[in-house]
Structure 1
Amino acid sequence: MLLFLDFDGVLHKYGCKPADLFTRLPLLEAWLQLHPGVDVVVSSTWRLTRSLDELRSHFSAGIRSRIVGVTPKLAGDSPERFSREAEVAMWLRQSALPWRPWAALEDQAWLYRPFNKRVVLCDPDTGLTKFDLDRLASLVAAVG
């Protein structure tokens, strides 16, 4: 299973102070420890200004190797509807296992098609919660 991961609004409150970045990361890492078959692809806009190694550096040593890549940037300057979903699809097409099941943690619904059952939406005012991770666990269990 692949987890496409946004940062702002998921791993910390959207628009938080620098001192409050990644406050929800320990919750995600604890969940990932319980789900060793889940690898992570960074879909956050942070991928546009930081290297994969820089992105991995925010995670604990035991999780870093499971950060397997970043989604590509779509060509063109105009924002595409459901652009994050299109980036996920492009990443999957370019991967060695394009049929691998996936889910996403995101705070901005408009980046994916409405009612996409693979997307767990987080409240950007709080970030990731145990309830969000319970919903994610249900998705993981459903694909086996």
Structure 2
Amino acid sequence: MISMELLKHLTRAEKVKIRKAVVNELERYRLSKFTVENPDNDNVAFHQMIERAIERLPTPERFLIEARYLSANSEYLTDYHVYNLKFNPPISAMTYTKIRDAAMIKISLYLNLDTGVKIEYLIQTNYPVRFS
């Protein structure tokens, strides 16, 4: 899996930058989804883009993102709550972090977010396309 392997090449600061950019988009999605009564075409397109990105994630990553960032109560949830009470069976904090970081990288790529991290460059240098 490219994103799990890619995690090894990112610094903690780069992971935080990616996570902040994605969380901002997910918060924007949640706020507009739950507060705007009559969304305009831009909001509808934005919602569809976020939903498609999340649907493309593997099941554990999708579950984590939906439980932690997209539920109506997500503002009041902590990571600890999600990995201990939402996952069945519960998972460790380290496993949670790996799943979350992999999901964040994928979402940032799917949404083509400007995170300040050259993820595409890392992918190209670590996973070059070979033509033969």
TM-score, length of structure 2 as denominator length:
0.34
Structure having the higher helix fraction is 2
CA radius of gyration, larger in: 2
Relative contact order (C-alpha < 8 Å, sep 6+): which is higher? Answer: 2
Structure having the higher strand fraction is 1
